[in-house]
Amino acid sequence: MARPVIGIGGALEQARWGVWDQPAVLAPLAYVRAVQIAGALALLVPPDPAYREDPGQLVDLVDGLILAGGGDVDPALYGAEPHPATTGAAPARDKAEIALTLEAIDRDVPLLGICRGMQVLNVARGGTLIQHLPESHGHEGHRPNPGSFDGSEHDVRLKEGSLAAQVAGELVHVTKQHHHQAVDEIGEGLEVTGWSAIDELPEALELPGRRFVLGVQWHPEVDPDSRVVERFVRACAGARA
């Protein structure tokens, strides 16, 4: 049986390789490896303005979609002014991924949002974001070492019977964190099913009534003990079958 195809949203970044220093579309290798180890084919999905009119042309090609981490979501998309600490926004990526998110939900194609991807899922459903947690919550517990996952682990409490608990395989899950923003007002139809042990911030969102729509604020792709990506790929294989 052919491997399920998983689209991974690509970031727009300035990148250096060889003698080149140019704008590039990229995804951290950890996402690709996690998908491949789970038995799927990874497909990098660059932002495309055409998705805003016809996202189905991409969704037709994949069995599941991962909204990956990256820069902050453009605050204009949820009706807010940018905070001074809001950086790396790429409106072209945001708008393309919001269109793909809504199309995947409409077609019941499995969707996994990771870190920024969970925030994109929330904004796509009409929710809002807290733009800078050190200011609003008074600590850097969710991003203790910018640019590194070292020392970033903390527990997340998951709702019994939720999709988040099923894919994590436990009700208290040790997670690797790297974010300075979080969901605020929850988008239409979404349910919070995970909470940070540090401050009770939402750490998991899901959409009841769909095959697999899950956002996690942590980074399962860099955790070799995590089963989240594997369980997501399994759902994608079931959808393909």
Is residue 83 pLDDT above 80, yes or no? yes
- What value does the mean pLDDT take over residues 229-239? 95
* Tokens, residue 119: 């925030």
Evaluate whether 40 touches 233 at the Cβ level (below 8 Å). yes
The number of residues making up the chain comes to: 241
Is residue 1 pLDDT above 90, yes or no? no
Task: Determine the Cα–Cα distance for residues 118 and 49; give it in Å rounded to an integer.
Answer: 21
> In terms of C-beta distances under 8 Å and separation of at least 24 residues, what long-range contacts does 22-30 make, across chains too?
27/68, 28/68, 28/69, 28/221, 30/219, 30/221, 30/222
Q: Which of 26-35, 144-153, 232-241 has the highest mean pLDDT?
A: 26-35
CATH number of 21-240: 3.40.50.880
Determine the pLDDT at residue 102: 98
Residues 145-165 have pLDDT tens digits of: 999 999 899 999 999 999 999
* Residue ranges per structural domain of the chain: 21-240
Q: With a threshold of 0.85, does the pTM exceed it?
A: yes
Residues 87-119 have pLDDT tens digits of: 999 999 999 999 999 999 999 999 999 999 999
Task: Determine the Cα–Cα distance for residues 164 and 214; give it in Å rounded to an integer.
Answer: 7
Active site residues: 115, 219, 221
Task: Determine the Cα–Cα distance for residues 48 and 25; give it in Å rounded to an integer.
Answer: 11
